A and B are shown apart, each in its own frame.
Chain A
């Protein structure tokens, strides 16, 4: 696939369809891939990569990139297309300045899962029929590929692209039985005290790096309220665990109805806080209270939380009753 992508990118640059390409650039190791914009065929030939570790969602970069001169080619995985569409809906990306090629998605891999098993000194990773052969400075190691799958790919919601100008590879479909709400249901079934303790423990690990917010395609405010120096609080101070809790919960509220469940927040968290579970809780609630809704699925429908309908929507009191069941 990588070779075909490289060839197509160079073709589209040569015939003037696009002037730049956004994709991923290889790093020092097998897994340290950086999102990058390529401006020449030579750069693409030497550095462009699309493999098991190109997990980063490049959609958010297109807010900025689509405002530059010329058209840019973006390779989007199925999950990335939902983010892209949602940003179109929010008028954040200028659609005509982006040429989208849909590419197959994951599952992508998480190098940290290799290291957590004690596989370190990694020199190369080969994926052969579901088994990873990892070349390390201490010798070759193997592990089943499914045990190294990146958290955000474990419960993939769709292998279908919701937007593209052209498609490479075969089109997939929406996965109804992804199981992505199973963990949320488990949390719902805890007692309030158990749930409180679960989140207190998880959120107390937060180091206030804001990586979750900054990578999030739904967090596209030019100036975040948490960065306001006049707010009386400091977002970088781990003042006490109460503040961390609030930051994440407020953020989850803010992206509710707009979060496409791309999973980037949990991917980038240096402390492995399962932040996506907060978002999935909101998605599950919205589905149950307002009807099935998938953010980013289209660019025209109104989001449930901005589309109150006095005849059909439940009153807050009903929400409360249902929630108490």
Chain B
């Protein structure tokens, strides 16, 4: 398999960045990781995951959709989009890579969301196999193999070298673009590392968490469960879980009055917020219980019901580590499950 020595990573990143904008997870001063534009001196983070997920690259938190400028009786309609540039997102984990498949099912079906599609078309996703999963990981619950990530190109590290395998045409182009830096390498050590990672995963506290009893066919049973009250009791109604989530996909569209026209923008919405799906007639979910229920029903029941059984969660564990009161999808699944 094609590979490059790990001590030449800077050379690799410089070569990629010379042709396209490169983003990768880097450590912040507080020890947490975030995706950052690569420039000389930016180092790849050793953290398993970033606080914000990689979905930001394709579905940003806020974006302008259209502007209306008014002059007298004339209204000028302006498309605020600029020419998109090609970019590479490097170091995406298997969980986040799967989240793109889930978002695609929402945004690339008719009517196609052209804002999202443009960014998908211009972005190359380079994934990185996990070697050190954390206790909050449960990607395997949703059929994801963290040692064989999806994405345009997948990478594996054996501690000395980084190995590349293109999964798509875009991935092949990416590997071609850096081929002068790559050599053929032996993957024997890699196999052992992957095996060890899988072994570690089976010893994790959430190793046996199963989603098999969730899905569209138990809609009423779960919707009407008497557990929701207790589960949602301590919920603060903040948006942390939804904003760090790689698969949360709801958005709100609003008009901002600039005084001489309108800027129509969309921003991530959160089902935890009191104005979620608020319409002219009011709000269909008046209590935190109903809003809390929405989030988990969407991921575990509604989404699979509409998408051939695919769940709307990838088990990245961000909500497990970030919820201020440590209430999360794992606790909900365990409390709710009807066998």
Where the two chains meet, the residues of A that have a C-beta atom closer than 8 Å to any C-beta of B are 27-29, 31-37, 56, 61, 111-113, 115-116, 118, 120-123, 137-138, 205, 207-211, 213-215, 223, 227, 229, 232-234, 236-239, 267-268, 270-272
Asked if B252 contacts A121 (CB within 8 A), the reply is no
Q: Flag if A33 contacts B236 (CB, 8 Å).
A: no
Residues of B contacting A35 with CB < 8 Å?
A: 234, 325
A113 proximity list for chain B (CB < 8 A): 31
Q: Does B284 contact A (CB under 8 A)?
A: no
Contact pick for B252, options A32, A213, A236, CB 8 Å: A236
Q: How far is the CB of B197 from chain A (nearest CB, A)?
A: 11
Please provide the chain B residues from 262 to 306 with a CB less than 8 Å away from any CB of chain A in the complex: 265, 267-270, 273-275, 278
Identify 4 new A-B residue pairs, CB closer than 8 A, beyond the known A112-B31, A214-B237.
Answer: A138-B132, A211-B238, A233-B256, A237-B61
Knowing A121-B200, A234-B252, A270-B322, the reply to whether A239 touches B234 (Cβ < 8 A) is: no
Cα of A112 to Cα of B51 in the assembled complex, Å: 12
Q: B270 to A236, Cβ gap below 8 A?
A: yes
25 contacts between A and B (CB under 8 A): A28-B205, A28-B206, A34-B326, A35-B325, A112-B31, A115-B321, A116-B31, A116-B32, A137-B135, A137-B200, A138-B200, A207-B243, A209-B239, A209-B243, A210-B273, A211-B238, A211-B239, A211-B240, A215-B324, A236-B269, A237-B254, A237-B265, A267-B324, A270-B51, A270-B322
| CB closest residue in chain B, given A210 | B238
A28 lies within 8 A of B330 (CB): yes
B244 at interface, CB cutoff 8 A: yes
Count A/B pairs, Cβ under 8 Å. Answer: 138
Cβ of B172 within 8 Å of any chain A Cβ, yes or no, is no
In the A-B complex, list the 3 residue pairs whose CB atoms are closest, starting with the nearest: A116-B31, A268-B324, A237-B267
Q: Which residues of the partner chain A approach B252 to less than 8 Å between Cβ atoms?
A: 234, 236
Report yes or no: A215 in contact with B236, Cβ–Cβ below 8 A.
yes
Residues of B within 8 A of A28 (CB): 205-206, 320, 330-331
**Which of B's residues lie within 8 Å of A, judged by CB?**
28, 30-32, 34, 46-48, 51-52, 61-62, 132-136, 200, 203-206, 233-234, 236-240, 243-244, 252, 254, 256-257, 265, 267-270, 273-275, 278, 320-322, 324-328, 330-331
CA distance A37 to B233 in the complex (A): 8
In angstroms, Cα B27 to Cα A272, docked, is: 13
Question: Chain A's nearest CB lies how many Å from the CB of B312?
Answer: 19
Q: How far is the CA of A210 from the CA of B322 in the complex (A)?
A: 13
- Give the complex CA separation of A207 and B267 in angstroms: 11
Chain B residue contacts of A229, Cβ below 8 A:
275, 278
B4 to chain A, nearest CB (A): 24
- Name B255's closest neighbour in chain A (CB-CB): A232
CB-CB under 8 A for A232 and B257, given A112-B321, A268-B324: yes
Q: How far is the CB of B207 from chain A (nearest CB, A)?
A: 10
**Contacts A215-B324, A267-B324, A268-B324; A209 near B204 (Cβ below 8 A):** no
Are B236 and A121 closer than 8 Å at their CB atoms?
Answer: no
> How far, in whole Å, are A118 and B61 apart by their CA atoms in the complex?
29
B201 and chain A: residue at smallest CB distance: A137
A207 contact set on B, CB distance < 8 A: 52, 61, 239-240, 243-244
Is there an interface contact between B205 and A238, defined as CB atoms closer than 8 Å?
no
Min CB–CB distance A119 → chain B (angstroms): 10
Which residue of chain A has its CB nearest to the CB of B60? A238
Chain B residues with Cβ under 8 A from A137's Cβ?
135, 200, 203-204
- CB of B233 within 8 A of CB of A209, answer no
Minimum C-beta distance from A72 to chain B (A): 13
Bound-complex Cα distance A57 to B238 (A): 16
| B326/A239 in contact, CB under 8 A | no
Q: Is the CB of A214 within 8 A of B238?
A: yes
Query: What is the CB-to-nearest-CB distance from A5 to chain B, in angstroms, rounded to a whole number?
Result: 19
A315 to B175, CA, bound (A): 69
**Measured CA separation A36–B236 after assembly (Å):** 12
How far in angstroms is the closest Cβ of chain B from A215? 6
